[in-house]
């Protein structure tokens, strides 16, 4: 049976650790505060490889003693859905080192869905919602909640 040196094991283990660490740093799978810090959004990767995000915390989860609902949704059947747990980011593909595109962002404050791209900058996530082309849109900065 061939012997494996302790040094070689350490080198392999450290290589694996740094490879995993760099991948984790590049990923948007994280808990984020929205720009106003009124909500936390958990971004996750689905089994299909796309990135999505849902609201998992609200600073003020209730209105008039009842959980906030998706009142502004244009689909009448969804107006009574709770905001907490609502999926607001859908279908993003990683297209660059820190760029995620081809997804949508839903704004429960006005009930509108926009095309969107996400740019990951360390502890910040630029969320650019737009109609048509990215030039005609608005960017908000989300910050790490972890």
Residue with tokens 């009448």: 76
**Interatomic CA distance for residues 76 and 72, integer angstroms:** 9
Residue 130 lies in a domain: yes
Residue 135 domain boundaries: 27-144
- Residue 54 counted as domain residue: yes
- What is the pLDDT, as a whole number, of residue 124? 97
Reading the block at residue 118, the tokens are 């996400």
The pLDDT assigned to 132 comes to 87
Asked, for residue 88, whether it belongs to a domain, the answer is yes
Could you tell me where the DSSP H helices lie in 1-146?
A: 6-26
Within-domain flag for 2: no
Residue 15 lies in a domain: no
Per-residue pLDDT band for 23 (boundaries 50, 70, 90) equals very low
Burial-class residue 57 by CB neighbours within 10 Å (0-12, 13-18, 19+): middle
Confidence of residue 107 (pLDDT cuts 50, 70, 90): very high
* 119 occurs within a structural domain: yes
Q: Which CATH number is 50's domain given?
A: 2.40.128.520
pLDDT tens by residue, 77-101: 999 999 999 999 999 999 999 999 9
Q: Residue 57: pLDDT above 50?
A: yes
% of residues, the chain, pLDDT over 90? 77
CA pair distance 92, 144, nearest whole angstrom: 19
| Residues 107, 110, 112: CA angle, nearest 5 degrees | 60
In this prediction, residues 34-62 reach a mean pLDDT of 97
Considering the domain boundaries, does residue 80 fall inside one?
yes
Whole-angstrom Cα distance, residue 88 to residue 79? 15
Domain count within the chain = 1
Residue 12 falls within a domain, yes or no? no
């Amino acid at each position: 049976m061939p012997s494996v040196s302790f040094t070689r094991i350490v080198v392999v283990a450290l290589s694996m650790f740094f490879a995993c660490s760099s991948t984790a740093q590049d990923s948007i799978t994280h808990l984020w505060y929205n720009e106003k810090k009124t909500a936390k959004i958990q971004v996750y990767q689905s089994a299909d490889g796309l990135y999505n995000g849902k609201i998992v915390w609200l600073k003020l989860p209730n209105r008039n003693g009842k959980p906030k609902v998706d009142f502004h949704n244009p689909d009448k059947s969804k107006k009574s859905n709770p905001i907490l747990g609502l999926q607001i980011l859908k279908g993003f593909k990683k297209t660059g080192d820190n760029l995620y595109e081809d997804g949508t962002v839903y704004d429960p404050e006005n009930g509108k869905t926009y095309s969107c791209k996400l740019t990951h900058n360390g502890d910040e996530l630029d969320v650019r919602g737009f109609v048509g082309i990215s030039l005609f849109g608005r960017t908000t900065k989300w910050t790490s909640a972890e």
